[in-house]
Amino acid sequence: MEKKQQARHPSRYELSQTQWERIEELLPGKAGDPGRTARDNRLFVNAVLWVLRSGARWSDLPPRYGAYKSVHKRFTRWAAKGVWEQVFQALIRDRNNEYLMIDSSIVRAHAQAATGKGGSLDSALGRSRGGLSTKIHLAADGQGRPLRFMLTGGQRNDITQARALLAGFSPRYVLADKGYDSRELVEAIRAQGAEPVIPPRSCQQPRLYDRTRYRRRNCIERCFARLKQFRRIATRFDRKPAHFLAFLASIPLWLP
């Protein structure tokens, strides 16, 4: 009876059976794939999610997941090969992008993110009012589900990443707060065949926008709130931006 209850209500640190079945065939190491066959992909993914949710060091990984050094090495290898991003892209491929929302949020960076080995000139770290920080730039669909992540230092202006967030999408409406209000961006959105739903800044010339549709923007704000429930995202511990992005792409929240 206890085992049945555990199967029905899996740990919040692990994928449910439904979530696992959705990504199982997207992961490397299947029979027929190049290299060794990975028989423990689910255990490995759950180990990564445990670190992601708890915010703990890799060395604190519970023994049931295996040797932490092996898990960490495999995580970094998958990050370098873009595996996490490939799975994320496969999962969002068929989403309805009638509405596209863009926004950003600052996360505090732990001191270890800026020290020791693994750093680079392009570390996506900067100084803001809260100290050392990283800014997550996000594009989301009409339900507030992520479509694209980008990282910069915390001091970078939101609008600097707007064009890159929008590239390749064909929405009917683009929603953003007044921090994205600029003539160039509004014209670029219209050139894509979309309607900008962006309130004008007080210092700019008044411009009409759809206030009713703008209310939908709270979906992306709620997305950031859920995102930061994962402690490894709420505070950045990773020195390499690729590892931080890999954690973002591996969050089970993204799995319907």
pLDDT tens-digit readout, 79-122: 999 999 999 999 888 787 899 999 999 999 988 887 755 444 57
Q: Largest Cα–Cα distance in the chain?
A: 66
pLDDT grade for 6, boundaries at 50, 70 and 90: very low
pLDDT value at position 75?
97
pLDDT of residue 251: 85
What does the pLDDT read at residue 34? 60
Per the model's pLDDT, the better-predicted residue between 166 and 254 turns out to be 166
Is 10's pLDDT higher than 80?
A: no
Specify whether the CB–CB gap between 65 and 47 falls below 8 A. yes
pLDDT tens digits for 151-180? 999 999 999 999 999 999 999 999 999 999
**pLDDT (0 to 100) of residue 112:** 81
Q: How far apart are CA 137 and CA 198, in angstroms?
A: 17
Q: What is the pLDDT of residue 32?
A: 58
Q: What share of residues in the chain are helix, strand, coil (percent, to 5)?
A: 45, 15, 40
Q: Following DSSP, what letter does each residue of 140-206 receive, concatenated?
A: E-TTS-EEEEEEEETTS-GGGGHHHHHTT---SEEE--GGG--HHHHHHHHHTT-EEE-PPPTTSPP
Q: What is the pLDDT of residues 144-154, one digit of tens each?
A: 999 999 999 99
* CA distances from residue 14 to 62, 65, 73, 235, 243 in whole angstroms, order as listed: 13, 11, 20, 21, 19
pLDDT for the residue numbered 205 = 78
Query: How much is the mean pLDDT over the chain?
Result: 88
Domain 95-238: assigned CATH number: 3.30.420
| Confidence at residue 173, expressed as pLDDT on a 0 to 100 scale | 98
Split at pLDDT 50, 70, 90, the class of 3 is very low
Report the SS3 class of residue 2: helix
pLDDT of residue 203: 75
Residue ranges, comma separated, of all CATH 3.30.420 domains in the chain are 95-238
